[in-house]
């Protein structure tokens, strides 16, 4: 009887074990890549630093959706006397780069159109067509502009009356945290003196879809709006000077005399000399003048201080520049010097008037 029970128990155990083994699958060995194999460890893409709700959702067809800082940007733009702005996107143009990435010029043009649309602020800001630069400039100058050569900026200012160039450099990069991306480097540059008014950058993940382009160019445009608003809006500490160019002076010393005189004009809080050059017969200088009003009002205040002197005349007044030429003898205001000498109880006062030598035009 005991042997019979033992046989039943062993049989039941073997049957259960067989069922368990039948339900199990063969486990295959998995090779774990080494830590040096970057292709095996891809980070998960994330929208940082742009949260999904960073900007308002798109409106209806043809409806402009303003960026968060657009209203202040437009007010500051109007207070700055509506400077003319051009947006230009530069990108790799070699066939090898295009074949390697599969990104075509039209893809980069989409970035340019999106930036123009944002900075245009629904038609409230004057944005010039970048194709005008290609039509006006010769081929060499336009290629230099595309390559970011700052020496072309004066040509844009004089031939197109452009005040600010917003340049966006777009190029593929493998250094972004989320993997292959397009690195966008944006700068707002004054064409008057090459001064950078604002700069920002961001990595736009691939693919270059409409959603990605609109999201990341919107981020760039909004950051530039913030910085231009601070500069134009007179935020404490912001340096937004008028560029004053003085032509036809007889000597460098005469330009320095004019600089000293400009410092005393009411409304002027700061004057920075940005270069004076001269020869044996003529001199030229540039001043950055921090003034509380427009270039035209600065010139009026300067002429008021000069009084009867008519030897300094404005030849051009633009958005934020005043070009002046010495056309004849310019007599600055006379200076009264008073000295007082006291001996015991007697006081003697002597006042003499010192006549400044007139500033002469170059011969």
Average pLDDT of span 340-360:
56
Q: What is the pLDDT of residue 337?
A: 43
Match 């409106």 to its residue by tokens. Answer: 59
Average pLDDT of span 310-339:
75
Average pLDDT of span 102-116:
94
> pLDDT digit string (tens) for 151-178?
788 888 888 889 999 999 999 999 998 8
Identify the CA nearest to 118 among candidates 46, 199, 56: 56
Band (pLDDT 50/70/90 cuts) for residue 49 is: low
Interior angle at CA 83, CA 219 and CA 190, nearest 5: 75
Q: Which are the contacts of 190, defined by CB distance < 8 A and separation ≥ 6?
A: 163, 164, 196, 197, 320
C-alpha 331/C-alpha 309 separation (Å) is 6
Rounded to a whole number of angstroms, the CA Rg of the chain reads 35
User: Could you tell me if 116 and 127 are in contact, meaning their C-beta atoms sit under 8 angstroms apart?
Assistant: yes
Q: What is the pLDDT of residue 3?
A: 54
> pLDDT digit string (tens) for 233-249?
877 678 889 999 999 99
Band (pLDDT 50/70/90 cuts) for residue 4 is: low
Is the pLDDT score of 194 beyond 90? Answer: no
Q: Which residue has the higher pLDDT, 355 or 290?
A: 290
- Where along the chain do its domains lie? 70-232, 242-354
Q: Which are the contacts of 4, defined by CB distance < 8 A and separation ≥ 6?
A: none
Band (pLDDT 50/70/90 cuts) for residue 53 is: very low
Q: What is the pLDDT of residue 21?
A: 56
CATH classification number, 70-232, choose in 2.60.40.10, 2.40.30.20, 3.40.50.10070, 3.40.50.2300: 3.40.50.10070
C-alpha 197/C-alpha 221 separation (Å) is 13
Q: What is the pLDDT of residue 338?
A: 47
Answer whether the bond into residue 49 is a cis peptide, omega within 30°: yes
User: Could you tell me if 258 and 248 are in contact, meaning their C-beta atoms sit under 8 angstroms apart?
Assistant: no
Is the pLDDT score of 232 beyond 70? Answer: yes
C-beta neighbour count of 210 within 10 angstroms: 10
C-alpha 320/C-alpha 240 separation (Å) is 9
Q: Give the C-alpha distances (Å, rounded to integers) separating 55 from 64, 116, 167, 300.
A: 13, 17, 23, 44
C-alpha 7/C-alpha 39 separation (Å) is 58
Q: Percentage of residues in the chain with pLDDT exceeding 90?
A: 44
Q: 0.85 exceeded by the pTM?
A: no
3-state SS, residue 98? helix
Q: Provide the 8-state DSSP code for 274.
A: E
**Mean of the per-residue pLDDT values for the chain?**
81
Q: What is the pLDDT of residue 357?
A: 64
């Amino acid at each position: 009887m005991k042997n019979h029970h033992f046989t039943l128990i062993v049989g039941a155990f073997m049957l259960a074990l067989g069922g368990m083994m039948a339900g199990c699958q063969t486990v295959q060995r998995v090779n774990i890549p080494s830590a040096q194999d970057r292709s095996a460890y891809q980070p998960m893409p994330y929208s940082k630093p742009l949260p999904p709700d960073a900007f308002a959702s798109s409106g209806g067809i043809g409806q402009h959706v303003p960026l968060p800082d657009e209203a202040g940007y437009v007010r500051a733009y109007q207070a700055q006397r509506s400077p003319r702005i051009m947006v230009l996107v530069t990108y790799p143009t070699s066939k090898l780069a295009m074949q390697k990435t599969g990104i075509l010029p039209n893809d980069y043009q989409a970035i340019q159109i999106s930036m123009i649309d944002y900075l245009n602020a629904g038609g409230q800001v004057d944005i010039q067509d970048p194709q005008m630069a290609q039509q006006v400039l010769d081929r060499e100058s336009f290629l230099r502009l595309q390559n970011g050569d700052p020496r072309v900026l004066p040509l844009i200012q004089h031939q197109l009356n452009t005040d600010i160039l917003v340049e966006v450099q777009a190029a593929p990069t493998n250094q972004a945290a989320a993997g292959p991306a397009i690195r966008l480097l944006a700068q707002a540059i004054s064409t008057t003196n090459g001064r950078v008014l604002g700069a920002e950058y961001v990595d736009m993940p691939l693919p270059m879809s409409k959603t990605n382009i609109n999201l990341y160019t919107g981020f760039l445009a909004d950051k530039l709006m913030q910085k231009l608003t601070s500069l134009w809006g007179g935020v404490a500490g912001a340096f937004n000077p008028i560029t004053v160019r003085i032509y036809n002076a007889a000597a460098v010393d005469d330009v320095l005399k004019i600089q000293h005189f400009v410092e005393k004009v009411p409304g002027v809080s700061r004057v920075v000399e940005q270069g004076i050059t001269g020869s044996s017969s003529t001199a030229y200088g540039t001043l950055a003048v921090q003034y509380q009003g427009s270039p035209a009002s600065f010139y009026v205040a300067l002429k008021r201080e000069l009084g009867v002197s008519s030897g300094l005349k404005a030849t051009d007044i633009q958005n934020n520049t005043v070009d002046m030429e010495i056309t004849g003898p310019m007599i600055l205001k006379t200076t009264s010097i008073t000295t007082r000498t006291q001996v015991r109880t007697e006081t003697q006062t002597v006042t003499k008037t010192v006549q400044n030598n007139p500033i002469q035009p170059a011969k």
